[in-house]
Amino acid sequence: MHKNLLMLLTTALTFTSTLSMAEEKNIIKLPLVEVIATQNSLTSGGVEQAQEKIKSIPGGAAVVDASEFENTRATTIKDMLDYVPGVFAQPRFAEEMRLSIRGSGLSRTFHLRGIKLLQDGIPINLADGSGDFQDIDPTAFRYVEVYKGANALKYGASSLGGAINFVTPTGYDAHKLSGRIDGGSFGTIREQLSSGQVVGNSDYYISASNLHSDGYRDFSDQNNTRLSSNIGHKFSDNLETRFYFTYADINQELPGSLTKSQLETNPKQANATNYRMNQQRDFNVYRIANKTSWYGDGIEVNGGVYTLQKDLYHPIFQLIDQQNSDYGIFADTLLSNSLAGKRNELTIGTNLSMGQTDAKQYVNNAGDYGALTNESDQNSKNADIYLENSFYARDNLALIAGSQFTYANRDYTDKFLSDGDRSGEKNYYGISPKIGAIYSIMPDVQLFTNLSRAYEPPTFSELTQSIPGVSGLANIKAQESTSFEIGSRGESGRINWDASIYRSMIDNELMTYSLGGSSTGVLNADSTIHQGLELGFGAQILENLMANEDSVSIKLSYSYNDFRFDDDSSWGDNQIPGAPKHYIRSEARYKHPSGFYIAPNVEIVPEGYAVDMANTLYTDPYALLGLQTGYEINKNVTLFVDARNLTDKTYAATTGVITAPTSTNQAQFIPGDGRAFYTGLSFKW
């Protein structure tokens, strides 16, 4: 022991002596380097983490960074997701959209069906599966995740369309103070202010915005106020909890659809009936949620609860007055271990939700309450249990298998009995298995494939049809489908891509049919096919063109949509109406090192598409030219201009869907905006 101590002292003296000699000989010393660990939220990952997770999905998925749309007049889901192939989002009125992924919910021309919407992983849809998106505020998000079809299993989505998750910043990736003011054509003005930072073991983020627009068309005013916020606390390096609060006050006039001749003559006009009846869609919504995450050795556990309260005032053909109360609980666990000496990851999760809607309908007296015509309680209960296992047979080959069990209950209590009792209850059970594989040719280049099932119970809009002679809930089956997909994604050098080919064979697709006279209802189609090609492509094609470090880049999104009936007894092999066969978005962007950029863009629908199932009434093709330009005054302040439809093209942004027209001049066309210019100033510190 004395010898070891002597050796230690000798070594220490020698080291000290060497340091002294180094100082005397003026040996150059390395500067002190301070390493600061980057803090991240445990409950809400950053955009880089989300992009990395995409590589474990054996099918179509995308992450859209807010930088892609923040310096634009981004007010709708279309503005955020227009360059994601397979997503078709077109404005109807104000911020109400026609939203479809791979042809999901095409016959649903109001609100939403077939896609699960989430904010920070917490459902936005009502418990029966329907949803709105006017309370989505593009200025409040850090990024958006899109999972198509069964690739949305991680969120317990079992529908054909999949899921879209809008992710807000936290104090870990937000600016201490940021904001913007923008406005322009059609009396549009928007103000937004946000703040976020870390305070000790806690952090917060809050964003508030207000938007007013007179609208391109007559009777299309909107006034929307939104608040998005969250506050988190870390109990340790492995445990964090986060509370979310969202509020929106949405007020929008509905100018309605036009005939094709009205569209071509004066697209700014409102439908006379919509104007006379003062049709609107106004609602308040509150969402409160909690999510807690814990990370251990080879394990990640997430869980939380949420509630949603929504009040709807909606004068249309009648005045719809509804109060919604939804509640839910969710949990998932990721186990990372080894199986047969190979890497293995197992995900198990569940989503439980219930909702009650107090629904009333009145005679619409130009936006005022008339006589009561309907009253009901609509109760929904849902349970989703899912699991997925990824086994890495080789370092570059993952084999994925999973399944989801879905239970849905729809309980309708008729409280307006003067026209008979239409009370009823329906239960739906479904299992949605999937298998897939990912093969990495190289670290940043992947091939993928999957085979999956989807199961989609109907919403109350499908079940509570006013069909003469029918009591109780309509006899509507759940929509079921089998889908196959193959594709590739990656980047190499200056190019990146995301490509998929898919085919979905659908039984009982929920479709709108004519029931004779003016009556319509939703029935299940026999068999339909949705198939297509999705291509996203980007490249930096030039650099050092007019200055050192300047660049020219391009991006392209192309969707080929072949949605058709399959030997249907009424419609044969006709195209399913509502979406174009080809949809193209493209942009070329020049960026100068001074901070200046300019980016012309196009939107092209080269062929008109059917409005009716008989395939006799069509839209016209169109091409729109736009331009974005701006200047980064410094690292904190940016000035931008967003010009749209520069040629002032008259076109139908979207349409209604009908069985067969009673005349060639039905009011089924919804005009897109004419030429418009917007400018804005954003800042961040």
Average pLDDT for 213-228: 97
The pLDDT mean for the chain works out to: 91
Rounded CA gap, 621 and 603, in Å?
A: 11
pLDDT tens digits, 89-139: 999 888 888 899 999 998 888 888 899 999 999 889 999 999 888 889 999
Average pLDDT for 629-656: 96
Position 472 scores a pLDDT of 76
pLDDT tens digits, 129-162: 998 888 899 999 999 999 999 899 888 888 899 9
Please tell me the pTM assigned to this model: 0.92
Position 96 scores a pLDDT of 86
Q: Is the pLDDT of residue 637 over 50?
A: yes
Position 664 scores a pLDDT of 62
Position 304 scores a pLDDT of 96
Q: Where residue 467 falls among pLDDT bands split at 50, 70, 90? A: low
Rounded CA gap, 628 and 680, in Å?
A: 11
Alpha-carbon distances, residue 393 vs 339, 341, 343, 489, 621 (angstroms): 9, 9, 8, 20, 48
Q: Give the closest residue to 576 by CA, choosing from 565, 585, 589.
A: 565
Position 617 scores a pLDDT of 92
pLDDT tens digits, 578-589: 999 999 999 999
Position 111 scores a pLDDT of 82
Position 2 scores a pLDDT of 39
Q: Is the pLDDT of residue 17 over 50?
A: no
Query: In three state form, how does the secondary structure of 63-92 look?
Result: EEEHHHCCCCCCCCHHHHHCCCCCEEEEEE
Q: Is the pLDDT of residue 30 over 60?
A: no
Position 469 scores a pLDDT of 53
Q: Give the closest residue to 192 by CA, choosing from 225, 233, 164, 221.
A: 225
Average pLDDT for 550-562: 98
Position 14 scores a pLDDT of 40
Name the percent of the chain lying above pLDDT 70. 92
pLDDT tens digits, 484-499: 999 999 999 999 999 9
Q: Is the pLDDT of residue 605 over 50?
A: yes
Cβ atoms of 138 and 368 within 8 Å: the answer is no
Cβ atoms of 146 and 162 within 8 Å: the answer is yes
Residue type, 630: G
pLDDT tens digits, 620-631: 999 999 999 999
Position 518 scores a pLDDT of 40
Average pLDDT for 71-78: 94
Task: Phi first, then psi: give them for residue 581, nearest 5 degrees.
Answer: -70, -35
Tokens of 155: 């969120």
Average pLDDT for 301-311: 96
Strand blocks (E) in 419-478: 424-442, 445-456
Cβ atoms of 286 and 309 within 8 Å: the answer is yes
Q: Where residue 471 falls among pLDDT bands split at 50, 70, 90? A: low
Name the percent of the chain lying above pLDDT 90. 82
Rounded CA gap, 304 and 123, in Å?
A: 12
pLDDT tens digits, 195-209: 999 999 999 999 999
SS3 50: helix
Position 54 scores a pLDDT of 93
Looking from the CA of 181 toward its CB, the CA atoms found within 13 Å total: 0
Average pLDDT for 285-297: 97
Position 100 scores a pLDDT of 95
Tokens of 228: 């998005």
Catalogue all structural domains in the chain, each as residue range(s) with its CATH number: 47-684 (2.40.170.20)
Position 515 scores a pLDDT of 46
Q: Is the pLDDT of residue 1 over 80?
A: no
Rounded CA gap, 609 and 605, in Å?
A: 9
pLDDT tens digits, 32-50: 333 344 578 999 989 999 9
Rounded CA gap, 555 and 464, in Å?
A: 44
Q: Is the pLDDT of residue 354 over 70?
A: yes
Instruction: Kindly write down the DSSP assignment for every residue of 278-325, as one continuous string.
Output: T-EEEEEEEEEEEEEEEEETTEEEEEEEEEEEEEEEEESSSEEEEEEE
Q: Which residue's entry shows tokens 């044969």?
A: 572
SS3 content of the chain, % helix, strand, coil (to 5): 10, 55, 35
Tokens of 245: 């609060």
Rounded CA gap, 536 and 306, in Å?
A: 35
Query: In three state form, how does the secondary structure of 468-505 look?
Result: CCCCCCCCCCCEEEEEEEEEEEEEECCEEEEEEEEEEE
Position 513 scores a pLDDT of 61
Position 657 scores a pLDDT of 87
Which residues, in sequence order, are CB contacts of 589 under 8 Å at separation 6+?
A: 552, 553, 554, 555, 597, 598, 599
Q: Is the pLDDT of residue 420 over 90?
A: no
Q: How many CB atoms lie within 10 A of CB 68?
A: 19
